[in-house]
Amino acid sequence: MRIAKDAVVTFNYVVSTEGKEVDRSDPANPLIYIHGRSQMVAGLEERIEGSEAGSHHEFSVPPEKGYGVFDQDLEVGVPVDAFPEQFRERIMPGFRFQAEHPSKDGQMVVFTVSSVDDGKARASGNHPMAGKTLSFVVDVVAVREATAEELEHGHIHGGVGCGMRDGSCSGDHCSRDGDDAHGHDHH
């Protein structure tokens, strides 16, 4: 079958930016997702739609269809004192917090602290790949229909329970046990 909305797609990929490889899948454990639900960056889903198992694709994805454009407003400096007292000791590189976008009312953004100097934390709300054009090499391994249950849960079931084939699951609502009966509650 061809890749269309709600198809379960298995693929391998290599992604590079500015001529440097940044990530690749392990061919022994390719990526699996449900197409058309924004589980992959938009530019990738668009480019492989309509193709079949065995197809090979090389293409680039602009930031707007990748991890977003770089937003200078999301590079912020925050005095450590501005955080609630119970968090202050934990403000260090890698600390994440949610706050409203500095120039877009009501839009919540997750910021990651990059450095702390003189009582001031530098933090970024940009995705590390924001502003980058992504070069993809994609090999589609398999395409199949999703089951009704997979569509309802919004993720694939790989034979060892919920989530990916190793039994782990990235869904918040899924237990990490990967029980065969798939008996966890979904909301």
CB of 157 to Zn ion, least distance (A): 6
Cβ-based neighbour number of residue 163 at 10 Å: 22
Rounded CA-CA distance 52/1 in Å is 6
| Token pair listed for 139 | 């090999």
- Residue with Cβ nearer Zn ion (56 or 176): 176
- Residue with Cβ nearer Zn ion (47 or 153): 153
Report which residue's Cβ sits closest to Zn ion.
153
CB of 163 to Zn ion, least distance (A): 7
The residues of the shown chain that bind Zn ion, judged by CB under 5 A, are: 153, 162
Residue among 33, 26, 63 nearest 48 (CA): 33
Contact 59, 52 (CB under 8 A): no
- Residue with Cβ nearer Zn ion (132 or 153): 153
CB of 184 to Zn ion, least distance (A): 7
CB of 137 to Zn ion, least distance (A): 30
Rounded CA-CA distance 184/182 in Å is 6
β-strand 134-145 against 56-61: which pairing, if any?
A: antiparallel
- Residue with Cβ nearer Zn ion (47 or 157): 157
- Residue with Cβ nearer Zn ion (141 or 160): 160
CB of 181 to Zn ion, least distance (A): 11
Partnered with residue 17 across adjacent β-strands are 20
Rounded CA-CA distance 32/163 in Å is 10
